[in-house]
Amino acid sequence: MKKNFILLFILLSVYSYGFADIQTFRQNVIQSQAFKGQVESIILPDPINSIKREIVVINSQGQKMSFVLTSGIGVYGPAWEVLSLKKIKPGNKVLVEYTTTKKDDFNRAISIMIMAN
């Protein structure tokens, strides 16, 4: 019984150390930002020419940003209802939560909320 307890304690200690390291890694790598504006265009993917699916958004100051859209992105309506990417149209006011990748230095959308006009 004592051996089992010691083995369990060692196992949990190693597991908790590994879990703490993952949390630190995520905090250093994943830092999200937000950008609010109006959808200018949606660029469809073209794998032959290495063009990714993107959305271009312009804020009220005229700053334009493009965001790469990947699978697993969350799209929400004004009442937080889950929508598909097909519901986003040019002219919609949106709030984009995104991260900037360190490897390729592009903006990857995490979630998009379509705001009420």
**Do residues 48 and 83 share a domain?**
yes
Residues 18 and 69 in one domain: no
One domain, residues 22 and 79:
no
Is the pLDDT assigned to residue 64 strictly greater than 90? yes
Note the pTM of the prediction, 2 decimals: 0.69
Amino acid 23: pLDDT: 47
Residues 41, 9 within the same domain: no
One domain for residues 58 and 96: yes
Look at residue 8 and tell me whether its pLDDT is greater than 80.
Answer: no
Mean per-residue pLDDT, 50-57:
88
Long-range pairs, 98-103, Cβ under 8 A, ≥24: 98/32, 98/33, 98/34, 98/35, 98/67, 99/30, 99/31, 99/32, 99/33, 100/33, 102/29
Range(s) of the domain holding residue 56: 33-114
pLDDT in tens, 13-45: 666 555 554 444 444 556 789 999 999 999 888
| CB-neighbour burial class of residue 2 (10 A; exposed 0-12, middle 13-18, buried 19+) | exposed
pLDDT in tens, 80-116: 899 988 899 999 999 999 998 877 778 999 999 999 8
CATH number (domain holding residue 102): 2.40.50.140
Tally of domains in the chain: 2
